[in-house]
Chain A
Amino acid sequence: DPKIIQKPKYLVAVTGSEKILICEQYLGHNAMYWYRQSAKKPLEFMFSYSYQKLMDNQTASSRFQPQSSKKNHLDLQITALKPDDSATYFCASSPGQGGTEVFFGKGTRLTVV
């Protein structure tokens, strides 16, 4: 059974629209992350959360907003979508200690047309 659930698996959006990518983890981890993978920049770190608090943000654009309603949830809201936002977005988690493995969900493949 997948322990990090991402929804939807595929998403097609119109330029200028807004979408929310869902992520839930059932590994009991304290830290959660979003990564983006595209042809131009493989596995790019976006955000990290720990105990529902933002730890680090490496995303230049405020159009990307993480939302954490529970410790094991970290959704990603993307507004004013652009074709360049087309990528696979991976949610990930870790126990929250330095040096530990990061576990990835299966990703949401976003295409902006």
Chain B
Amino acid sequence: GDSVTQTEGLVTLTEGLPVMLNCTYQTAYSTFLFWYVQHLNEAPKLLLKSSTDNKRTEHQGFHATLHKSSSSFHLQKSSAQLSDSALYYCALSDWGNYAQGLTFGLGTRVSVFP
């Protein structure tokens, strides 16, 4: 079955430093990759998505590039802000199967300090 593996646990960093969260996946099908962000006591919401190989996608200062050759979709930001403190999920969805919605990784908690 499908699976997503992402940077585990807690990532702490200082405001202004770059952020990189790793995400790799396994699937036998054509797929969409997503990054969701969940702030404290809120619902997960979409940050980025892509299905195009080797194309950079950007939103709210974050960017990610889907690399099908390495099954990766790493999330990056050049300069972290305090407001980036949140839980980040990498997820995938198969083109031909919406029945399960999204397959999520275990999540990475990011804490940004002044």
Contact = CB atoms under 8 A, between A and B. Distances in A.
A96 B46 contact: no
Interface residues on B, range: 20 to 34
A100 B93 contact: yes
Interface in B46-87: 46, 49, 51, 87
Given A99-B31, A99-B93, A106 B42 contact: yes
Contacts of A45: 100-104
Interface size class of A (residues with CB under 8 A): 20 to 34
A94 B101 contact: yes
Given A45-B101, A58-B100, A94-B98, A101 B34 contact: yes
A58 B100 CA distance: 9
B96 interface: yes
6 contacts: A42-B107, A48-B98, A50-B98, A56-B99, A94-B101, A99-B94
